Structures are given as C-alpha cells and as structure tokens.
C-alpha cells in the first residue's frame, strides 16, 4: 500500500485516544487496521470499547486487505475551507465483513468516473501523528 503526498486540502485531525490510536496510525506500517473482537471475530468501526455484536471487550487491531468497493458517494462543491475544488466523499465497504464501511475521500480519480461498485484501495496521507486512510481507484 502506498503513501500519498499531502495535498493542500484542509483536514480536521482526529483527537487520538487509546481507543482510536491504532486506527489513525496504522498507515505508518502501510496497513489499514480495525479493532477486531477476539471473542466473535467482528470488526468494529468506528472504534469502540465494546463489541456491538457480542459485548466482548478483548479488542485487538487487525490488518485488512485495504481493498474495497464504493458503497455510496457524494461530490462536495461547498468551499468549506475556502477551496472550491470539488472532491469525492466516499463510503467504502471492505470485503472482510458485510457492513464494515469507512467514510473517506477518493483521490486521483476524475469525479465523473466515480460510481457505486468502483473497486478502490487504501492509500495513506501522513500529517503529523495521523495517517489519513484515503482511497484511490484499484486498477485490475
């Protein structure tokens, strides 16, 4: 998995906690990780102190393939940060578990080519203590 250059786009850095640190820093090793319940195998996202499936509390970060498909998306045209360049906000479903979805941005892909079902793969944008998991089109 690749790391992309930070662009000029403004990103709100997350407040790191013991609960979410493994998610936001997993890109340092180039692997997307989610907390996974050791009792039932359920992946949790967003991070939480207890498994929503079985109530288990033994949660360990585990790597996933980083490949997924676009479950839904929208194109933002609002200049929230003063930059009026449109960009894609995507909801990516990971193949490891039905319903394991991550909201992110699609980068390096013309906006008129974004569609539901598009195969994507994770890339990381490193800023400070955080590796933002972004997605690019996955070439076959």
Residues that bind Zn ion (CB under 5 A): 37, 39-40, 42, 51, 53-54, 56
Q: End-to-end distance of the chain based on CA atoms, in angstroms?
A: 15
In the complex, the smallest distance separating the C-beta of residue 55 from Zn ion, rounded to whole angstroms, is: 7
- Decide whether 50 or 127 has the Cβ nearer to Zn ion: 50
- Strand, helix or coil for residue 113: helix
- Decide whether 14 or 41 has the Cβ nearer to Zn ion: 41
- Decide whether 39 or 60 has the Cβ nearer to Zn ion: 39
In the complex, the smallest distance separating the C-beta of residue 138 from Zn ion, rounded to whole angstroms, is: 29
In the complex, the smallest distance separating the C-beta of residue 24 from Zn ion, rounded to whole angstroms, is: 22
In the complex, the smallest distance separating the C-beta of residue 56 from Zn ion, rounded to whole angstroms, is: 4
CA angle 69/50/96 to nearest 5° reads 20
- Strand, helix or coil for residue 68: strand
Query: Are 116 and 71 a contacting pair, CB within 8 Å?
Result: yes
- Decide whether 39 or 75 has the Cβ nearer to Zn ion: 39
**Cα(74)–Cα(92) distance, integer angstroms:** 12
In the complex, the smallest distance separating the C-beta of residue 102 from Zn ion, rounded to whole angstroms, is: 19
3-class SS shares of the chain: helix, strand, coil, % to 5: 10, 40, 50
């Amino acid at each position: 998995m690749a790391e992309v250059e930070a662009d000029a786009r403004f990103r709100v850095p997350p407040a790191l906690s013991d609960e979410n640190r493994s998610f936001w820093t997993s890109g340092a090793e180039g692997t997307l990780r989610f907390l996974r319940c050791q009792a039932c195998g359920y992946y949790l996202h967003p991070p939480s102190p207890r498994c929503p499936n079985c109530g288990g509390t033994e949660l360990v970060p585990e790597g996933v393939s980083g490949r997924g498909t676009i479950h839904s998306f929208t194109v933002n045209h609002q200049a929230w940060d003063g930059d009026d360049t449109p960009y894609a906000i995507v909801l990516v479903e990971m193949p490891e578990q039905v319903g394991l979805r991550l909201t992110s941005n699609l980068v390096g892909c013309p906006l008129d080519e974004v569609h539901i079902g598009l195969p994507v793969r994770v890339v990381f944008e490193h800023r400070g203590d955080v590796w933002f998991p972004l997605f690019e089109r996955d070439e076959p």
